[in-house]
Amino acid sequence: EFTANPLPSQRTMSSSLDAYWMPFTANRQFKKAPRLLARAEGMHYWTDDGRQILDGVAGLWCVNAGHARPKIVQAIQAQAAQMDYAPPFQMAHPQAFELADRLAKLAPPGLNRVFFTNSGSESVETALKIAIAYQRARGEGTRTRLIGRERGYHGVNFGGISVGGIVANRKAFGTLLAGVDHIRHTHDPARNAFSVGQPEHGADLADDLERLVALHDASTIAAVIVEPVAGSTGVLIPPQGYLQRLRDICDRHGILLIFDEVITGFGRTGQPFAAQTFGVTPDLITTAKGITNGAVPMGAVLVKQAIHDTFMNGPEHLIELFHGYTYSAHPLACAAGLGTLDTYADEGLLTQAGELQGYFAEAVHSLRGCAHVIDIRNIGLVGGIELAPRPGEPGKRAFDVFLDCYERGVLIRTTGDTIALSPPLIIERGQIDQIVDTLRGAINRVA
């Protein structure tokens, strides 16, 4: 049993909690009763006071191979000792090429060019910029419009919140990008509540894109971006046929299709990418999170070769894309990425969600009938359990369930009144039971 490296007690900490402005956190409430994590290994965290917490969300949808995996730890340590940093502009290091090559081999056919970033948000900005620049490079410079979807989450930078469809993430920040429009989301509890896997109804919602083409004209539209499974707005699974229909409409009108796979990438749905699970190939894929198992910040955009090659036509000495980050292909991130892909491969983790999804689906759907549960959604190793909001207090009921689970040693996540589960792919059946049993108790206690 692990005894936590003692951090100062919460009481002594309280005078020093002020400086850290925590992201996406109710800071004042948190600082009255902080939740501090001090160690992680395998399926578990340990709190600063030594309590063991079963990780039901892979950190934040990212630690797909579980925590502190030896090959990843060793790769980072060795790289830090050998070369801490290398400039990525007009220079490179071998691991960057190796990682790109291995990612290209995992990707759906044709998406074999890789641009490195440091986060999901940066991957989104990069993909949007590549899409617009590509349209211009192929002589379609009027195609600058970007289409997102209601309830989409594409990170927090200006492009991402503009194409994103989460009102709270947009409303405080001004006018955002011009020339953005949205299709409707696919959440339709009236027809699809308690669907196991892909819901039956809603492929026709893709036709919203036809309406926007009619409204704006295809010649103004560069790209459409959607999450194959919307994660941060409550685990919305694409209806059967929906993604293919989007693909068809994009093809008909010369519009690029971007899948934001920051959550769904790296095995979450039973294949390396959700594009493969759903059998629909986009033109660009944004990734992050599971690319390094969460251990070092990194993201990547996977790009169809034909798009990449369009940039490669000018004079050879010219920079083809004026875009990049100081930390693109950072050596520590590349090392972590290689250690991560090794770990995924050694243990067959990128298809493990497919092996477990039947068991997982049955477990999460067993919560049907618990107090205030109005919908349950699942695919691969991701699940959403939606509660009816308490009148006048949206999100509060689910958050109380989160607090109750945390007290009882299980980490879940909530978004609005939906409880999200996305455990590390190394989870065992008994641990799925532990999460669901703890949730069942918590939902009933909170009710």
Binding flag, residue 125, ligand PMP (CB under 6 A): no
Binding flag, residue 296, ligand PMP (CB under 6 A): no
Nearest distance from residue 231's CB to ligand PMP, in Å? 5
Nearest distance from residue 299's CB to ligand PMP, in Å? 6
Binding flag, residue 124, ligand PMP (CB under 6 A): yes
The span of 24-32, 147-155, 216-224, 332-340 binding ligand PMP (CB under 6 A) equals: 147-155
Nearest distance from residue 274's CB to ligand PMP, in Å? 11
| Cα separation, 310 vs 72, whole angstroms | 36
**Cα separation values, 310 from 139, 228, 305, Å:** 10, 26, 9
Check: CB of residue 42 under 8 Å from CB of residue 68. yes
Q: How many CB atoms within 10 Å of residue 304?
A: 22
Binding flag, residue 155, ligand PMP (CB under 6 A): yes
The span of 149-157, 214-222, 303-311, 344-352 binding ligand PMP (CB under 6 A) equals: 149-157
Binding flag, residue 121, ligand PMP (CB under 6 A): yes
| Cα separation, 360 vs 62, whole angstroms | 18
Q: Which residue is nearest to ligand PMP (CB)?
A: 120
Judged by beta carbon, residue 291 or residue 427, the one nearer ligand PMP is: 291
| Cα separation, 314 vs 278, whole angstroms | 36
Classify residue 154 by its DSSP letter.
-
The residues near 322 (Cβ < 8 Å, ≥ 6 apart) are: none
Binding flag, residue 415, ligand PMP (CB under 6 A): no
Residue count, binding to ligand PMP (CB under 6 A): 14
Nearest distance from residue 125's CB to ligand PMP, in Å? 10
The span of 75-83, 150-158, 213-221, 245-253 binding ligand PMP (CB under 6 A) equals: 150-158
The one-letter code for the residue type at 110 is G
Site string for ligand PMP, 309-338 (x = CB under 6 A): ------------------------------
Binding flag, residue 185, ligand PMP (CB under 6 A): no
Integer distance in angstroms from the first to the last C-alpha of the chain?
Answer: 34
The span of 72-80, 259-267, 312-320, 405-413 binding ligand PMP (CB under 6 A) equals: 259-267
List 88, 108, 231, 290, residue binding ligand PMP (CB under 6 A)? 231
List 88, 120, 199, 294, residue binding ligand PMP (CB under 6 A)? 120
Check: CB of residue 199 under 8 Å from CB of residue 185. no
The span of 35-43, 118-126, 165-173, 409-417 binding ligand PMP (CB under 6 A) equals: 118-126
| Cα separation, 221 vs 212, whole angstroms | 9
Determine phi and psi for 363, rounding to 5 degrees. Answer: -65, -50
In 311-446, which ranges are continuous DSSP H helix?
A: 331-346, 352-365, 396-407, 429-446
| Cα separation, 75 vs 83, whole angstroms | 12
- The continuous run of DSSP H or E covering 44 comes out as strand 44-47
CA atoms within 13 A on the CB side of 50: 8
| Cα separation, 377 vs 364, whole angstroms | 8
Nearest distance from residue 124's CB to ligand PMP, in Å? 6
| Cα separation, 351 vs 94, whole angstroms | 28
Binding flag, residue 154, ligand PMP (CB under 6 A): yes
Cross-strand bridge partners of residue 40:
45
| Cα separation, 110 vs 121, whole angstroms | 23
List 43, 246, 275, 288, residue binding ligand PMP (CB under 6 A)? 288
Nearest to 329 by CA among 105, 92, 78: 92
Nearest distance from residue 232's CB to ligand PMP, in Å? 5
Judged by beta carbon, residue 229 or residue 442, the one nearer ligand PMP is: 229
Binding flag, residue 63, ligand PMP (CB under 6 A): no
List 63, 131, 226, 262, residue binding ligand PMP (CB under 6 A)? 262
The span of 90-98, 215-223, 225-233, 373-381 binding ligand PMP (CB under 6 A) equals: 225-233
Nearest distance from residue 291's CB to ligand PMP, in Å? 10
Q: How many CB atoms within 10 Å of residue 33?
A: 8
Binding flag, residue 397, ligand PMP (CB under 6 A): no
List 64, 232, 271, 418, residue binding ligand PMP (CB under 6 A)? 232
Q: What is the DSSP string of 331-369?
A: HHHHHHHHHHHHHHHHTTGGGHHHHHHHHHHHHHHTTTT
Enumerate binding residues for ligand PMP (CB under 6 A).
Answer: 119-121, 124, 153-155, 227, 231-232, 260, 262-263, 288
